[in-house]
Amino acid sequence: MIIAGRKPFKEITESLEGFDSVLIVGCGTCVAICLAGGEKEVGILSAQLAIFSEMGGRTLNIGEATVERQCDKEFLSELRRKVPDYGAVLSLACGVGVQFLSDMYPDTPVLPGVNTAFIGANDDVGLWTERCRMCNQCYLALTGAVCPVTMCPKGLLNGPCSGMRGGMCEVDPAKPCAWRLIYERLENTGRLDQIKAIAPPQSHGLTTTPARIAHKAYERRTPANESL
């Protein structure tokens, strides 16, 4: 899932300067799970903003809404009656949600309330770790399902580097070298021969932006050269 963290309160209040009303919009999916922008976080931020504006002698009309997913137009259309009542929208979704809200409601300023960090996993209560950097050329078949792009700070597709010491990473000696983990995983699954395989160079042409993928079944409906 996409992992994000709420922006510092000061940054949020600065971005709202000059507005006398704001609709805070949460997202019920990734950012709700990582405790950054779900319904609960919308309520907390709303209360903080209300106190802040009252203490500053300012009137700020605050609205709250949370949709199931901000990266889906179907759910954003639920807001069509609410958005026009506010001077700004503060989205607590990932950057995709912020942009999509702005696309849907181009006459209203849409501001981000969170910083989108990475694609990661729920490792423990309140702990998320990066697991994928969307290289669009997944190497996990070669590496025992340990991602070399995210687990190795140098993103080495063929490792380890010469800095590994006692199985630990030279960049962060508190962490195991990703290539040690790859070695152990391949060994445990009886595929250690695989460690000799040389991964092809990463094709950065596969990660040019803006990326676009059309499902085969829908290619006629959305031709590759159609503008967004």
Report the interface residues with ligand SF4, using CB under 6 A.
132-135, 138-140, 147, 149-150, 152-154, 156, 159-161, 163-164, 169-171, 177-179
CB of 129 vs ligand SF4, minimal distance in Å: 12
Residue 189 to residue 142: CA distance in whole angstroms: 12
* Torsion sign (Cα): 22, 28, 30, 31: positive
CB of 161 vs ligand SF4, minimal distance in Å: 3
How many of the other CB atoms lie within 10 Å of CB of 169? 22
* b/e map 192-207, b = 16+ CB within 10 Å: eebbeeeeeebeeeee
For residue 197, give the DSSP letter. P
Measured from the CB atom, the residue of 73 and 133 that comes closer to ligand SF4 is 133
CB of 63 vs ligand SF4, minimal distance in Å: 38
Measured from the CB atom, the residue of 65 and 161 that comes closer to ligand SF4 is 161
* b/e map 142-167, b = 16+ CB within 10 Å: bbbebbbbbbbeeebbbbbeeebeee
CB of 209 vs ligand SF4, minimal distance in Å: 16
CB of 193 vs ligand SF4, minimal distance in Å: 20
Measured from the CB atom, the residue of 109 and 155 that comes closer to ligand SF4 is 155
Measured from the CB atom, the residue of 103 and 172 that comes closer to ligand SF4 is 172
Are the C-beta atoms of 112 and 7 separated by less than 8 Å?
A: yes
Residue 197 to residue 192: CA distance in whole angstroms: 10
- Whether residue 210 has a cis bond before it, omega within 30° of 0: yes
CB of 120 vs ligand SF4, minimal distance in Å: 11
Measured from the CB atom, the residue of 22 and 186 that comes closer to ligand SF4 is 186
Q: Which residues contact 161 (CB under 8 A, 6 or more apart)?
A: 154, 170
Measured from the CB atom, the residue of 65 and 96 that comes closer to ligand SF4 is 96
Residue 53 in tokens? 């504006």
